[in-house]
Amino acid sequence: MNIYQVFTRLFGANAEHPVANGSKTQNGCGTMASFTAKALAEIKSLGVTHIWYTGIIEHATQTDYTRYGIRKDHPEVVKGRAGSPYAIKDYYDVDPDLATKVPERIKEWEALIDRTHKAGMKVIQDFVPNHVAREYHSDACPNGCQDLGEGDDVSVNYSPENNFYYLGEPLHLDNILGEGAKAKSPFYEENPAKATGNDVFSAWPGRNDWYETVKLNYGPNTYRKMLQILLYWAEKGVDGFRCDMAEMVPVEFWEWVIPQVKEKFPDIIFIAEVYNPQLYRDYIYRGHFDYLYDKVGLYDKLKAVSAGWCSAKEITSCWQSVEDIQEHMLNFLENHDEQRIASDFFAGDALKGRPMLLVSALMNTNPMMIYFGQELGERGMDSEGFSGEDGRTTIFDYWTVDTIRRWRNGGKFDGALLTDAEKKLRDYYAQVLDMSETEPAFKEGLFWDLMYVNAHLDRQYAFLRSDKKKTYLVVANFSEEPVTTEIRIPADAVRALSPELDKVKNNLAHDVVVSVKVKPWDGVVKKIKLQ
């Protein structure tokens, strides 16, 4: 399974020279209609099986949509001009920014789901269970649906029937917005204050807190409401949910809700953003998640190896630590939270992502995710507005992703505006991702780490993949120098991966040595014979 994460409002944005902190009028905004049949076919050609359309659900924004019956958000509790897609303000609605015709936004989302399915891919949508926007209010809640916070007893800090935690005093944003903010009209007021999304149970949140969001309280009432929300979107035809900060929501909730959703939609998948390795098995076995982010293991290690902070030998410990749950781990090298590989804050060069890609995509049978523009070497070195120059593509601002804009070329998708280097990199990604999805040795075969018998390797990582019919040697080179080396394959691997050996030949199996040449910051995938 290969997932293409795309920030929906940025995909079709065409401004060549967007203005920092610019409005939607100034910088434009991509829509769901940007994902034409041609666009989807080109995305699929990368070897993509699933698209995660990030930022679909309506969230807080500084853009005024009151003429469509949508409440206006107070700018002091919105990050950026466009707002964060993780500050949900209506769980039952689609972000109006993404619509060609705002009143038709739900239908346009349903149409995009249908187009994606017709293109041969499945759809993943965000589910943000831990927190909502400060001014959450559902305008689109179905008949008979009770809104979040409706009926809460705000006179108590906690009640199992409350959807929020109340702090018993007014919210204070002076330390974030400054005293001068009080002179603005109107100044944002909230009384009683609610706990923030990052678990700050204080009426005085800090600048680095998720001060624009409020924490959900998971009592029985919230359980029921969140189940209703999941079923609402599942009935629209989505094939999976990426669950934001799932580890901040009790595993008991997932244990209760996921089986109920899967009872009605057996093929739907759940992906959890979980960063604590101590919780992995709870969220898989108790919580029933299909996949978890492999962030603090493989991602962090590959970043460290790329930077020269540690030897490639240490990659071995990554798969060893999750060997029993490997098939449930989702590998990635970029996403909306992380710095771009080509940025000055990560590798500084997109080509240095090639050995990382080979390891992430080909080492095991678990799924791989790439972030739009990664395949083109997007640097993310813009100072877009709220997020500033940090090596990430903004999730808060109206902006343009330069490489994506040029790849799209006004909807032609002909690559005419891409550099030769960008075209070659995209071809590289397509080759690797397609191999991971179509070649049985990689899609479902066995894995054999070779580092324990190749002590001479330090900046290279070597492993085998085999379905016992075909065997591939993969060597990833995390070095600025070309390498010519010999890779030893132990007799144990020969026996395990060669079922056609008879008893006599099995007993006579011996180590095999394969000579390889690897370019700088690249790798080889070589089909080999083990006898």
Residue 284: CA count within 13 A, CB half-sphere: 19
Is residue 219 in some structural domain? no
Q: What is the pLDDT of residues 71-96, one digit of tens each?
A: 999 998 999 999 999 999 999 999 99
Examine the domain organization and report whether 380 and 499 are in the same domain.
no
Q: What is the pLDDT of residues 441-478, one digit of tens each?
A: 999 999 999 999 999 999 999 999 999 889 999 999 99
Answer with the one of 438, 461, 484 that is the final residue of a domain: 438
Query: DSSP characters for 109-152?
Result: HHHHHHHHHHTT-EEEEEE--SEEETT---SSPPTTPPPTTTT-
Q: What residues form DSSP beta bridges with 329?
A: 292
Examine the domain organization and report whether 397 and 432 are in the same domain.
yes
Is residue 10 in some structural domain? yes
Is residue 167 in some structural domain? no
- Model confidence at 357: pLDDT above 60: yes
d(CA 76, CA 92): 24
Average pLDDT over residues 42-65: 97
Q: What is the pLDDT of residue 504?
A: 47
Average pLDDT over residues 112-136: 97
Q: What is the pLDDT of residue 505?
A: 55
In the chain, % of residues over pLDDT 70? 96
- Model confidence at 11: pLDDT above 50: yes
Q: What is the pLDDT of residue 246?
A: 96
Examine the domain organization and report whether 424 and 456 are in the same domain.
no
Answer with the one of 415, 438, 461 that is the final residue of a domain: 438
Is residue 239 in some structural domain? no
Range of the domain at 488: 444-528
Examine the domain organization and report whether 426 and 309 are in the same domain.
yes
CATH of the domain at 481: 2.60.40.1180
> In 3-state terms, what secondary structure has residue 473?
strand
Number of folded domains that form the chain: 2
Examine the domain organization and report whether 491 and 409 are in the same domain.
no
Is residue 200 in some structural domain? no
Examine the domain organization and report whether 340 and 413 are in the same domain.
yes
Closest CA to 113 of 211, 212, 239, 6: 239
Query: DSSP characters for 259-304?
Result: HHHHHHSTT-EEEE----GGGHHIIIIIT--SEEE-IIIIIHHHHH
Examine the domain organization and report whether 433 and 449 are in the same domain.
no
Is residue 454 in some structural domain? yes
Examine the domain organization and report whether 320 and 411 are in the same domain.
yes
Examine the domain organization and report whether 514 and 489 are in the same domain.
yes
Residues in Cβ contact with 16 at an 8 Å cutoff, skipping those fewer than 6 apart? 400, 405
- Model confidence at 14: pLDDT above 90: yes
Examine the domain organization and report whether 417 and 451 are in the same domain.
no
Backbone angles phi, psi at 131, to 5 degrees: -155, 165
In the chain, % of residues over pLDDT 90? 88
Is residue 186 in some structural domain? no
CA end-to-end distance (rounded Å), the chain: 32
Examine the domain organization and report whether 420 and 302 are in the same domain.
yes
CATH of the domain at 99: 3.20.20.80
Q: What is the pLDDT of residues 241-257, one digit of tens each?
A: 999 999 999 999 999 99
- Model confidence at 177: pLDDT above 80: no
pLDDT band at 108 (very low <50, low <70, confident <90, very high): very high
- Model confidence at 179: pLDDT above 70: no
Examine the domain organization and report whether 519 and 394 are in the same domain.
no
Answer with the one of 438, 456, 477 that is the final residue of a domain: 438
Is residue 181 a contact partner of residue 207, using CB atoms and an 8 Å limit? no
